Amino acid sequence: MRDIFQQFRPKKIIENPSEEELREWALEQGGVITEFGNLAVTTRVRNRIAKFTEVVMGEPEEEYTKLVSDVMAYLEDKDVIMLDRVMCQKQGYKRKCRVYVVSSYPRIPLMWGNTLFPAEPGEPDFITITVPDWPEKKVLVFPESGMTLIMGTDYKGENKKAMLRQVMYWAKKDGNLGLHAASKILRVMRDGKLVDKGFLLFGLSGTGKTSLACHSHWLRPPERVIIRQDDVVILKSDSSAVGTEESFYMKTDALEPGAQPLLYAAAISPRAILENVHVDAATGKVDFFDSTLTSNGRAMVKRRDIAFTDNTIDLERVDNLVFITRHNEIIPPVVRLSREWGAAAFMLGESVETSAGDPSQAGKPRRVVGTNPFIVGSEEEEGNLFLKILRDNPHMQCYLLNTGTVGGTVRGQKITVFDSVKILEMIARDKIVWKRDDFWGYEVPAEIPGLDMSRFDLNNYYSEYQIKKLCQVLKKERIEWLSQFSGLDPAIVSALKP
Determine the average pLDDT of the residues in 294-301: 94
363 band by pLDDT with thresholds 50, 70 and 90: low
Q: Is the pLDDT of residue 362 over 70?
A: no
Q: For the ranges 198-207, 277-286, 419-428, which has the lowest average pLDDT?
A: 198-207
Tell me the pLDDT tens digit for each residue of 267-291: 999 999 999 999 998 999 999 999 9
Q: Is the pLDDT of residue 357 over 60?
A: no
As annotated, the residues of the chain forming the CATH 3.40.449.10 domain(s) are 2-30+49-154
What is the CATH number that goes with domain 2-30+49-154? 3.40.449.10
Q: Is the pLDDT of residue 311 over 80?
A: yes
CATH fit for domain 177-246+303-498, picks 3.40.50.10420, 3.90.550.10, 3.90.228.20, 3.40.1080.10: 3.90.228.20
pLDDT of 354: 59
pLDDT of 1: 56
As annotated, the residues of the chain forming the CATH 3.90.228.20 domain(s) are 177-246+303-498
Span between the terminal Cα atoms of the chain, in Å? 48
Tell me the pLDDT tens digit for each residue of 81-104: 999 999 999 999 999 999 999 999
Q: Is the pLDDT of residue 54 over 60?
A: yes
